[in-house]
Amino acid sequence: MTSTKLAARLVALLALGAALYVPGASGSAGTAADTAAYRDPSLPVSDRVDDLLSRMSLDEKIGQMTQAERSALDPQSDLATYRIGSVLSGGGSAPADNTAAGWADTYDSFQRTALSTPLGIPMIYGADAVHGHNNVYGATIFPHNIGLGATRDPALVNRIGEVTAEEVSGTGIDWTFGPCVCVARNDRWGRTYESFGEDPEIPSAMTSIVDGFQGATLGGPTSILATAKHYVGDGGTEGGVDQGDTRVSEAELRAIHLPPFQAAVERGVGSVMISFSSWNGEKVHGHRYLINDVLKEELGFTGFVISDWAGIDQIDGQPGFTGAEVATAINAGIDMIMVPYDYQQFISLLRAEVEAGQVPMARIDDANRRILTKKFELGLFERPFTDRSYTPSVGSQAHRDLAREAVRESQVLLKNNDDALPLSKSSDKIFVAGKNADDIGNQSGGWTISWQGSSGDITPGTTVLEGIRDTVSPGTTVTYDREGQGIDGSYESAVAVVGETPYAEGEGDRPGGLGLDAADLATLSRLEESGVPLIVVLISGRPMDIATEIDGWDALVTAWLPGTEGQGVADVLFGDHNPTGKLPMTWMREAGQQPINVGDGKPALFEYGYGLDYG
């Protein structure tokens, strides 16, 4: 540590008051806390919370409202020093040993630190397990939400929640920042694939995943806390701009964007994350009416509200956060702040706001009551460490089989001239091409191993090409060339797997065209020139502008972002599964139609709900 950093730390510590740091009072046997009522699992949770709250100092309460990034907690003892109640891994923030066991070790180490404080309040660790436990190398990666929306199968999505929770539990993590129940209205938005659909009916139905994550009770052995995000209107911004402004009437906000949150609250979702976006120019992170009045009072949400990543920094439009922003956010009803780096500053600012009477103690107590209730319900006080019996479930065959089933069900057959599909497993020669045919990273999309995702062999899985090779008969020749070079008229069919490459929030916004890139167009025209029947498989996070190309294709399957189990795509191409997927989004005729949505009267290329089968 540099001397200036050390000095800053000392000043911060002094400002917090000496009482905060109690050397030796490490929660070991013999402290008063060991026999305290809050430690007694036979008492009702509300009694335990009352007892614990009565023992907590203001600093301890403020710590519970603070969430810091794993990598920012340096030294790790800061977790105990500042009584920080929660840790997160941001997108791609993995321990050096990015294996299930490495995550479990990291989790347990943080937890030991948290338990070393006098009251021994366990920390709660959150991560974005948004299509499987996607930061973990070797985890099962499920289709992104847009594909799950196409399945129209809430029971399947519930099972995905269950097995994802098992993988998450096997790494110690207690809490996922999912599901995203955004209603994506403009496909230019780079988070469109995180949406189950453009009409609230599908995102509402798919809150079945909340039950899968949380289990029948939060105290189950593989239960994890779920998060409905991003409250509210994240998918409705002008121009589909990420973190932008949702300019709609209250009636429209309630009709389009609110219903999935209501559904999640009815299912007992444990947390809700606030949206970076604004509603008619006002940042939701400071919006007391939407958070306190609508979410908590009207919908009756009893869990806790988490901010988004440094979301409070944006309230006043200036970089960084001030005491006023902290007070505005907490008074609006946010219970825990994803700081994620400047936790010392956050803690001292919140303390100053409370002391100045800007944030009432009742609000601090309410936030703590909500957070601690979930910690008790999760059983963190009784079972604070990773249950290693679930660690081997990460990426298990049984979970991959479920993911393959989800991939199959998510395929949408949009065109099939002259029964070009299904392909015959006993064809002599099949040609496969396209940049997304043999690339696990591309078929998984953003939020996979890293925040934005990346191309290449980033984690184990089966590519679409491998799925095709594994399906055909031994006598079939499958020739692959990424660019489509070398095809001639001797092939019975050509399969082009094209579309988008990985992106996530921000990077994925496409204010210009929504068409295929030059490489894909070149590949496709090579295949078309051969005269071989052309099957196009589109791997993309959203509908694409293909109206001028589609006439040259015999069949079109949209695969969305299937994840690691590309075999599920082959299952549909060869008829092992008769396509059942239906569009969860209206498919534009041209990019200039955005936003285009069901019921708006704009002429679509394919309507919301469209999807063929093999008859």
Which residues participate in catalysis according to the annotation? 308, 505
Per CB under 6 A, does 505 bind ligand BGC?
yes
Out of 128, 198, 199, 245, point to the residue binding ligand BGC (CB under 6 A): 128
The residues that bridge with 556 in the sheet, in sequence order, are: 415, 536
In terms of CB distance, is 243 or 410 closer to ligand BGC?
A: 243
SS3 content of the chain, % helix, strand, coil (to 5): 40, 10, 50
Give the span between the Cα atoms of 553 and 530, in whole angstroms.
12
Helices 397-410 and 154-169 pack at an angle, to 10 degrees, of 150
What's the rounded Cα separation, in Å, for the pair 254 and 46?
32
Nearest to ligand BGC of 353, 505 (CB atom): 505
Min separation Cβ 167 and ligand BGC, Å: 18
Q: Name which of residues 342 to 381 contact ligand BGC (CB under 6 A).
A: none
Q: How far is the CB of 223 from ligand BGC (least distance, A)?
A: 19
Rounded to an integer, what distance in angstroms lies between the CA atom of residue 532 and that of residue 552?
11
Nearer to ligand BGC by C-beta: 266 or 507? 507
The answer to whether 148 and 159 are in contact (CB under 8 A) is no
Q: Which stretch binds ligand BGC (CB under 6 A): 85-93, 371-379, 409-417, 587-595?
A: 85-93
CA atoms of 38 and 51, how far apart (whole Å): 6
Q: Which stretch binds ligand BGC (CB under 6 A): 40-48, 89-97, 117-125, 164-172?
A: 89-97
Positions 527 through 586 that interact with ligand BGC (CB under 6 A): none
* Region from 87-95, 355-363, 367-375, 386-394 binding ligand BGC, contact rule CB under 6 A: 87-95
3-state secondary structure (DSSP) of residue 51: helix
Closer CB to ligand BGC, residue 92 or residue 581? 92
Q: How far is the CB of 227 from ligand BGC (least distance, A)?
A: 7
How near is the Cβ of 128 to ligand BGC at its closest, in Å? 5
Which residue is at the shortest CB distance from ligand BGC?
Answer: 90
CB-nearer residue toward ligand BGC: 308 or 409: 308
- Residue 93 Cβ, how far from ligand BGC at the closest point, in Å? 6
Which of 308, 500, 549, 571 touches ligand BGC (CB under 6 A)? 308
- State yes or no: residue 229 binds ligand BGC (CB under 6 A): yes
Nearer to ligand BGC, 145 or 386 (CB): 145
The whole-angstrom distance between residue 144's C-alpha and the CA centroid of its chain comes to 9
Q: How far is the CB of 83 from ligand BGC (least distance, A)?
A: 22
Q: Give the x-and-dash track for 169-188 against ligand BGC (CB under 6 A).
A: --------x-----------
Report the C-alpha gap between 25 and 31 in whole angstroms.
7
Residue closer to ligand BGC, measured from CB, 56 or 315: 315
Report the distance separating Cα 230 and Cα 67, nearest Å: 17
Is the distance from CB of 494 to CB of 440 less than 8 angstroms? no
How far apart are CB 531 and ligand BGC at their closest, in Å?
46
Minimum distance, C-beta of residue 158 to ligand BGC, in the bound complex (Å): 21
Binding of ligand BGC by 309 (CB under 6 A): yes
Member of 85, 90, 95, 118 binding ligand BGC (CB under 6 A):
90
Task: Identify the three-state secondary structure at position 14.
Answer: helix
- CA neighbor of 596 nearest in space, from 198, 126, 113, 89: 198
Which tokens belong to 2?
A: 């540099």
Tokens 């510590």 identify what position? 13
Footprint of ligand BGC on 433-462 (CB under 6 A):
451
Count of chain residues binding ligand BGC (CB under 6 A): 11
Say how far apart CA 212 and CA 148 lie, in whole Å.
Answer: 14
Regarding 93 and contact with ligand BGC (CB under 6 A), the answer is: yes
CB of 577 to ligand BGC, least distance (A): 32
Q: Residues 179, 184, 189, 195: is their CA dihedral positive or negative?
A: positive
Calpha distance 524→12 (Å, rounded): 61
| Secondary structure letter of residue 591 according to DSSP | G
Query: Which C-beta is closer to ligand BGC: that of 128 or that of 549?
Result: 128
Whole-angstrom distance, CA of residue 282 vs CA of residue 229: 18
Should residue 242 be labelled a site residue for ligand BGC when binding is judged by CB under 6 A?
no
Cα 509–Cα 150–Cα 198 angle in degrees, nearest 5: 50
Residue with smaller CB distance to ligand BGC, 115 or 339: 339
Which residue, 341 or 385, has its beta carbon nearer to ligand BGC? 341
Any contact of residue 92 with ligand BGC (CB under 6 A)?
yes
CB of 314 to ligand BGC, least distance (A): 11
> Given the rule CB under 6 A, which of 10-18, 60-68, 88-96, 106-114 is the region that contacts ligand BGC?
88-96
- Cβ of residue 267: shortest distance to ligand BGC, in angstroms? 19
Best CA proximity match to 429, nearest among 515, 505, 487, 348: 487
At 305, is the secondary structure helix, strand, or coil? strand
Burial class (CB in 10 A: 0-12, 13-18, 19+), 34: exposed
Q: How far apart are CA 470 and CA 430, in angstroms?
A: 13
Residue 429 dihedral angles phi and psi, to the nearest 5°:
-140, 125
Type and span of the H or E element at 203: helix 201-205
Q: Which is nearer to ligand BGC, 167 or 528 (CB)?
A: 167
Q: Which SS3 state, helix, strand or coil, does residue 156 take?
A: helix
606 SS3 class: strand
Q: How far apart are CA 402 and CA 143, in angstroms?
A: 11
Query: How far apart, in whole angstroms, are the C-alpha atoms of residue 430 and residue 473?
Result: 11
Name the site residues for ligand BGC (rule: CB under 6 A). 90-93, 128, 177, 229, 308-309, 451, 505
